[in-house]
Amino acid sequence: MAPCPVRMAVRTLDVKQLKALITVAEVGSVTRAAELLHLVQPAVTRQIRTLEEELGVPLFERTRQGMRPTEAGAIMVDRARRALNELERARAEVQPAPGVVTGIVTVGLLESVSDLLAESLVSAVARDHPGIELRLITAYSGHLQQWLDDGDLDLTLLYNLDSTPSLNARPLVRERLWAVAPAAAGLRADRPVPFAEAAAHPLIMPASGHALRSLIDAAAARAGADLNVAVQTNSMRVQKQLVRAGHGWTVLPGVGIAEDVAQGSLSAAPLCEPDVWRSIVLGTPRFGRTPPAVEVVARELVRQINSRVDHGRWPSAQAQASTTP
């Protein structure tokens, strides 16, 4: 079924209506939304009804379970959220103190590197640029790329991606993939494991279509090995949990298991025959103005990555030439 058309009388919309719309959608209740917005319930009801009248479509279904957005309502909530976010960013950029970089910057971090980078990035930005508000989103590369294309991220780490018509991809790090096993398997960093040997074990794998799974499948084809997939999951945490419990081995980047290996809860070794590598890039939109706050955070993220590689905190990683801020 085609989405309901939304006939918008833009001149009558205001920020209070959009905030009411988003809040009711998030909490599913006008009463609760009124409490969060510090308004009386009739005022929130009036804002929603006025918005519906102006648009000419119902935005919510009133059910016993609460307020549920209609198809048109879901479209409006998504657009309203983005509009308010842009207003917040604009306000921060046009009202800075002299010489101070301010603004809201939304950063995408790969799940595998978030533990290594998130806290240090936040600390550095808070120390050197307290006028910048950071918003960190962690996910897999495919999701992060989509959110960057949709305008929900200002910059993000991605892997195995070249520049596209919609984004610039700046190479940062090349890192090796590792076979990961229970601690009792005794895998060691100085003894690479042939891919065929790892593939002979039951494997806890990323789901098909995942970028990491594509790398593993390609390596299996080069090695002439059949993968014995026991479980598929979209969570690195679950992969490691199942390996610790003895359900099989897995394949992950070294950065994602360094702490587990150091604590003795997992053992791991680089893959060989063939070696398997992934390249991490910094993705940014190709078009449009780049706010100063985004430029500052991008430079700091690159600096943090270089520091981790230089000090050996990123296992089997090689910084690429273009990482100089």
pLDDT of the residue at 323: 42
pLDDT in tens, 19-40: 888 899 988 888 888 888 888 8
pLDDT score recorded for residue 242: 97
156 token code pair: 């993000």
Q: Return the pLDDT at 321.
A: 63
Q: Are 70 and 60 in contact (CB under 8 A)?
A: yes
State the Cα–Cα distance between residues 268 and 250, nearest whole angstrom: 10
Q: Residues 248-283: pLDDT tens digits? A: 999 999 999 999 999 999 999 999 999 999 999 999
| Mean pLDDT score, 218-224 | 93
Q: HSE (CB half, 13 Å, CA atoms) of 167?
A: 23
How far apart CA 29 and CA 41 sit, in angstroms, is 10
What digits encode the pLDDT tens for the residues 31-89?
888 888 888 888 888 888 888 888 889 999 888 888 889 998 888 888 888 888 777 77
Return all residues near 165 (Cβ < 8 A) that are at least 6 apart: 286
- What pLDDT shows up at residue 8? 42
Residues 6+ positions from 272 with CB-CB distance below 8 Å: 192, 193, 194, 195
Pairwise pLDDT comparison (14 vs 184), residue with the higher score = 184
Average pLDDT, the chain: 87
What's the pLDDT tens digit per position in 128-181? 999 899 999 998 888 899 899 888 899 999 988 887 888 899 999 999 999 999
DSSP-derived secondary structure letter, 162: -
Q: Are 227 and 307 in contact (CB under 8 A)?
A: no
On the question of pLDDT at 212 being above 50, the answer is yes
Closest by Cα among 106, 110, 177 to 143: 110
Between CA 267 and CA 271 the distance in angstroms is 13
Q: What is the 3-state secondary structure (H, E, C) of 223-289?
A: HCCCCCEEEEECCHHHHHHHHHCCCCEEEEEHHHCHHHHHHCCEEEEEEECCCCEEEEEEEEECCCC
29 exposed, middle or buried (CB, 10 Å; 0-12, 13-18, 19+)? middle
